[in-house]
Each structure stands twice: as structure tokens, then as C-alpha cells.
């Protein structure tokens, strides 16, 4: 009986132990439907900030301003800065208005050498104030070529280069331009300088900086002194020997008068003799 009781107790303990182990395990997850879409292993991470749309690139280089509306040389120079004296002269001489009309009403092109304010300050005091209105106009026109010249085309120019100031044939406004590698040299006969950077450039207008005012010889060169006639080595004669208005000397006139008197006396003598001879007969 005791063995039977122990055996029954062992069976009971095994049954209880199995029940406790089974209740401790988690319930199995329900099976997924066969047609359910597969979940991606790593979903893409959304960007915190959407990308900013890039701005449109400028159509012109950053260092050269883009001219909106009609081409105006004075506005271009004012925007570039440092050309106030040149702008004032362009306006006061009327050249600015002429350029504006031709640039916007025709296909005419120009190249302008624009002196900086420091270039004008290096002139002699009163150099500009001593000029007439015509000379100021010619000075400004001397800085303008009636064609568009790019930096790579200066070596194609023939010297002397014609400017708006006048015809090169008369030699009054000579402008010579030479190149040495990438350097452009400008000479007026009074001033030598090199071409600076481009202030503005398009297919109708090119403006370049120059650090010296281009002075034409016709305006700024000293006028040659008139040479006096050399003194004659012939000794001076006295007043009586001076030439008369007719070109004969007074000495010659006196001799002629004496001869004339002598002739008259001879004529009178001959007449007296002839009178007495006739009376005697």
C-alpha cells in the first residue's frame, strides 16, 4: 500500500510540473495571411529639410554689370564707381547724349577708355579749366574709338588708331596702341599707359579702365616759339641812306635832283644863246 501511494504521488508531481512549464511559455503568434505584402526590412529615412531649388545662374560675368533697358554709358560708369570726373565731362560736353543716341538708335559700336578719378587728379592744377569747350569735347572724344575692340583684338589695329576726336591724317590726334603678350600699351606722344580691366562689354560697347588721362598733342603740347629773323651783318646806314617808299635811296634821289637842275641850266643857256644869235641876224 505504501508503494502504491508513493507511485501515485510521483505521477501527480510530474503532471503538476508539466502544467506549470506549459503555462509559462508565450502563446504562438497568429499566422500571417499568404497574400499580405512583405514589410521592407529598412524603410527609407525622410529628409528633415527638403532641398532648396538652385537659383538661375547670371547670364553675364559677375565683374561686368548687366545693363537693363537702353545702353547708357554714364549709368554703367556710375555703377562701376570711381569715374565721377569722366562722367561729368561726358555730360557737360554733350558726348554722353551722342553716345546714348547712337548706341540705342543704330548698330554703331564704340570702345571707350575711361580714366579713373585718380588719373584726373594727377593732372597739373588747372589743366582742365584752361581748356575751351571745344578742347574739352575733343579730349573726351580722344578716349573713344568708333568700333568695338575686344581684349584679344587690339593687336589687329593699325597705328595711328582713329578716334572720335578727328582724322588721323592731319596728325593732330595720334593714338598708338601696341600689345606685348596680354598687355595692351597706349601712347599719345605725351602719355604712355597700359590698358586696365574691362568695366563693361557686350556686342556693341566695350569700356576699359585706364589709369592716366590720354592727352593729345594738339591740345596739351607747348606751342613752338616763332623764331625771329637773324640780324643782318650789313652795317646800319644813317637816316639819309634809308630807303624811300619807291625803293631808291635818298642819296640817289639827291643825285637825280642835281642832274635835273643841271639839265635845266644847260637848256636855259642854250635858249639864251639862240636868242642873241637870231637877234643879231
- Residue 123: exposure state from Cβ atoms within 10 A (0-12, 13-18, ≥19): middle
In tens, the pLDDT along 221-251 reads: 855 555 555 555 555 555 544 444 444 455 4
Question: Given pLDDT bands bounded at 50, 70 and 90, which one contains residue 5?
Answer: low
Residue 94 domain flag: yes
Is-contact 172 218, C-beta < 8 A?
A: yes
Q: Which of 80-94, 112-126, 222-236 has the lowest mean pLDDT?
A: 222-236
In which residue are the cell numbers 553716345 written? 99
Number of domains composing the chain: 1
Residue 33 domain flag: no
Q: How far apart are CA 98 and CA 106, in angstroms?
A: 12
Q: How far apart are CA 244 and CA 246, in angstroms?
A: 5
Q: How far apart are CA 130 and CA 127, in angstroms?
A: 6
In tens, the pLDDT along 125-161 reads: 999 999 999 999 999 999 999 999 999 999 999 999 9
Q: What is the pLDDT of residue 267?
A: 64
Residue 50 domain flag: no
- pLDDT at residue 55 greater than cutoff 50: no
Residue 267 domain flag: no
Q: How far apart are CA 167 and CA 145, in angstroms?
A: 12
Ramachandran region of residue 247, left (φ > 0), alpha (ψ -120 to 50) or beta?
Answer: left
For CA atoms 180, 220, 205, 68, give the dihedral sign: positive
Residue 107 domain flag: yes
Give the H or E element holding residue 176. Answer: strand 176-180
Residue 49 domain flag: no
Residue 64 domain flag: no
Question: Given pLDDT bands bounded at 50, 70 and 90, which one contains residue 54?
Answer: very low
Which residues, listed in sequence order, are joined to residue 180 by a DSSP beta bridge? 183
- Residue 198: exposure state from Cβ atoms within 10 A (0-12, 13-18, ≥19): middle
The Cβ-side half-sphere exposure at 102, using a 13 Å CA radius, reads: 14
In which residue are the cell numbers 501511494 written? 5
Q: 110 versus 237: which is more confidently predicted?
A: 110
CATH number of the domain at 122, please.
Answer: 2.30.180.10
DSSP string, 69-115: SS--HHHHHHHH-S-HHHHHHHHHTTHHHHHHHHHHHS---EEEEEE
Residue numbers of the domain that contains 146: 73-217
Amino acid at each position: 500500500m505504501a508503494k502504491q501511494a508513493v507511485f501515485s504521488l510521483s505521477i501527480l508531481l510530474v503532471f503538476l510540473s508539466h502544467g506549470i512549464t506549459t503555462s509559462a511559455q508565450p502563446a504562438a503568434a497568429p499566422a500571417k495571411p499568404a497574400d499580405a505584402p512583405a514589410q521592407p526590412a529598412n524603410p527609407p529615412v525622410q529628409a528633415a529639410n527638403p532641398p532648396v531649388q538652385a537659383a538661375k545662374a547670371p547670364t553675364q560675368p559677375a565683374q561686368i554689370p548687366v545693363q537693363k533697358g537702353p545702353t547708357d554709358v554714364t549709368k554703367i560708369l556710375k555703377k562701376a564707381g570711381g569715374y565721377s570726373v569722366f562722367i561729368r565731362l561726358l555730360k557737360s560736353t554733350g558726348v554722353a547724349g551722342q553716345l546714348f543716341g547712337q548706341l540705342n538708335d543704330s548698330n554703331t559700336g564704340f570702345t571707350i577708355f575711361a580714366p579713373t578719378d585718380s588719373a584726373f587728379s594727377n593732372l597739373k592744377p588747372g589743366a582742365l579749366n584752361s581748356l575751351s569747350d571745344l578742347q574739352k569735347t575733343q579730349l573726351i572724344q580722344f578716349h573713344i574709338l568708333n568700333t568695338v575692340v575686344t581684349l584679344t583684338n587690339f593687336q589687329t589695329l593699325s597705328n595711328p588708331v582713329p578716334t572720335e576726336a578727328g582724322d588721323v591724317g592731319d596728325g593732330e590726334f595720334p593714338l598708338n596702341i601696341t600689345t606685348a603678350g596680354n598687355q595692351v600699351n597706349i601712347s599719345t606722344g605725351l602719355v604712355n599707359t597700359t590698358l586696365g580691366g574691362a568695366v563693361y562689354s557686350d556686342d556693341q560697347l566695350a569700356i576699359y579702365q585706364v589709369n592716366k588721362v590720354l592727352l593729345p598733342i594738339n591740345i596739351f603740347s607747348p606751342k613752338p616759339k616763332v623764331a625771329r629773323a637773324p640780324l643782318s651783318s650789313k652795317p646800319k646806314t644813317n637816316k639819309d641812306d634809308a630807303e624811300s617808299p619807291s625803293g631808291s635811296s635818298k642819296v640817289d634821289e639827291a643825285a637825280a635832283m642835281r642832274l635835273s637842275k643841271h639839265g635845266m641850266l644847260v637848256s636855259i643857256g642854250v635858249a639864251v644863246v639862240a636868242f642873241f644869235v637870231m637877234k643879231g641876224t
